[in-house]
A and B are shown apart, each in its own frame.
Chain A
Amino acid sequence: MGKALVKIKPKKYKVGDIVKVDFIAIHPMETGLRKDKKTGKIIPAKYINDVKFYYNDKLFTSMDIWESTSTNPYLSVNLKITEPGKVKVTFKDNTGEAGEKSKKIKPKV
C-alpha cells in the first residue's frame, strides 16, 4: 500500500510530556462518487477506514475513518510519554490493503 509517515512533535521531549503524534498516508481516499472523465465510469470507493495507534504494543487510539476525510489523510492525536520504545500505526483500507509505520520514542530524560 501507499507510503506513510509518523511524526512526533516536538522532537525533544521527556517522560511526562504530552507529545503530538502525526500520521500521514499517501492514499487517494476515493469516495466512490466521482466519474472517470475518459470512461464515464464511477471510480470505485477506495479509502483508509481503519487506523490504530500503539505505544509499545499497547493500543492507545483507534479510528474509523470515512471517505469524507481528505486525500492523503492527516490524522493527529496526543500521547503521554511514559517510557522509551516506539509508536506503531497500522492502517487498512476498504479494499483490504494494509500497511504500518513505526517511530521510535526516545525521551531525553
Chain B
Amino acid sequence: MKRRSFLKTVAATAPLAMMSAPVVLSAKEAPKSPNAMDLKTALKTITGGKAVKDSDKIKLTVPEIAENGAVVPVKVNVDHPMEANNYVKAIHVFATQNANVRCADVHLTPMNGKGYFATRVKLAKSQNVMALVELSDGTFMKAEKPVKVTIGGCG
C-alpha cells in the first residue's frame, strides 16, 4: 500500500512540476547561478583537454520532440565491456545550452554489468543533449542528439 501511495504521489506531483516551470533559464538569460558552466568548460574540466571523438558505440536515446522541457527522458547505452580492467568508467550527461550544462556525472564499476544510465532532465529550450563517456583506459568518446522543446523550461 505504501508503494502504491508513493507512486501516486510521483504521478500527482509530475503535472505540478510541469505547471510550475520555468525551471531552467538558458545560458544567455540566466542570472549568475553559482554552478553556471558552459559546455566548453564542462568538457575541459572532465577530460582535462583531451580530444573527444564521436562514437556510434554510444546509443543515446532522447525524444525528437519534448512536449515539456521540464521532464525530458535521456537513456545512454554504451556498447563496451564491463570487465575488471576494461569498463565504462563514467557517463556524463549534458544539456548543452542550459545555464549549467551538467545534469549528471555517473561513475560506474564492473559490478554494473552494462554501461547504462537513464534519467530525466530539464531543457531550457531546444538544444542538443550530449553523453560523454569515459573508459577505464582514460579515453573519452561522445554522442549528441538534438531535442526540440515545445514548451520550454521557460514556458
Count residues of chain A with CB under 8 A from any CB of chain B: 37
**Which DSSP category, helix, strand, loop or mixed, fits chain B's interface?**
mixed
Q: Mark B3-37, 1 if CB is under 8 A from A, else 0.
A: 10011011001100100001111000011011100
Q: Quick one: which of A60, A68, A76, A78 has the most chain B CB within 10 A?
A: A68
Taking the complex as formed, is B108 at the interface, i.e. its CB lies under 8 A from any CB of chain A? yes
CA gap between A3 and B10 in the complex, in Å? 10
B23: contacting residue among A34, A62, A64, A80, CB under 8 A? A34
* A61-B9 in contact given A33-B24, A66-B35 (Cβ < 8 Å): no
B28 to chain A, nearest CB (A): 13
Instruction: Name the segment of B47-55, B56-64, B99-107, B134-142 touching the other chain.
Output: B99-107
User: What is the bound-complex CA distance between A68 and B7, given in angstroms?
Assistant: 23
* Interface members, chain A 37-84 (any B CB < 8 Å): 42, 45, 55, 58-80
Check A60–B111 contact: CB distance below 8 A: yes
Q: Given A24-B10, A66-B100: A60 and B109 within 8 A (CB)?
A: yes
B78-112 interface code vs A (CB 8 A; 1 in, 0 out) = 00001000000000000100111111111111011
B3–A72 CB distance below 8 A: no
- Chain A residues within 8 Å of B105, by CB: 63-64
Residues on A with beta carbons closer than 8 Å to the beta carbon of B117: 75-77
Given A65-B104, A66-B100, A68-B102; A79-B120 close (CB under 8 Å): no
- Tell me if B33 and A78 are in contact (CB < 8 A): no
List 9 extra interface pairs beyond A34-B22, A34-B23, A64-B105, CB under 8 A. Answer: A24-B10, A31-B23, A31-B122, A61-B112, A67-B35, A68-B102, A68-B122, A71-B13, A77-B106
Cβ of B99: which chain A residues have Cβ within 8 Å of it? 31, 33
Q: Which residues of B contact A72 (CB under 8 A)?
A: 10, 13-14, 17
CB contacts (< 8 Å) of B70 on chain A: these are 70-71
Q: Which residues on the B side are within 8 Å of A60 (C-beta)?
A: 108-109, 111-112
